[in-house]
Amino acid sequence: MELFINKSKIFTQPQNNDVQSMNDVSFYLVNEKEKKGGFIVCFVVQKKAWNRQIEIQNTGDGNVDLWAGESKGIDAKGDANVKFDYKWCSFPTNAKPIRFMINKPKSLGLMETIGQFDILSAHFHQLDGRTLYIYYSMDNEKYFKVEQNRPKKVILY
């Protein structure tokens, strides 16, 4: 799974990814005219899904956690089928990449990392002022692969 903007690869090569589980995850970068100096990450899941998490490491705001699922997240205003969480992520002052770790529930309440990606500092400018939507469908359902099932800002909040 890779994210490209204007033919430039934004995410580095995935590490330690569960390819089958990552097929349920979709990334979309949208220009919603947010403030500069960082970007918004909006994590969207189906409301009936077990809780899922995204850890974002090395932002200018420290580490950030996003949670959404059956008992976590915000109910979408315009779509009763989804829940979401979102956070502003400023860019770090160091030259280290921002790391995304996508986690799903395992047994006994433990979380399992199914995918890990880095955004290199050379690509921060391409995210500046934008919103990165990360949609996570239930196992093998491909719900968010259908464009009309991918709510954006106006539908969510």
- The tens digit of pLDDT for each residue in 93-138 reads 998 999 999 999 988 878 999 888 888 898 899 899 999 999 888 8
Structural domains of the chain, with CATH: 18-156 (2.60.40)
Radius of gyration from C-alpha coordinates of the chain: 15
Tell me which residue of 127, 52, 118 sits closest to 88, measured CA to CA.
127
Which residues is 68 bridged to in the sheet? Answer: 52
**CA–CA separation, 40 and 73 (whole Å):** 16
DSSP 148: G
Backbone φ/ψ region at 100: left (φ over 0), alpha (ψ -120 to 50), beta: beta
pTM, rounded to two decimals: 0.85
The string of pLDDT tens digits covering residues 21-54 is: 777 788 888 887 778 999 999 999 999 999 999 9
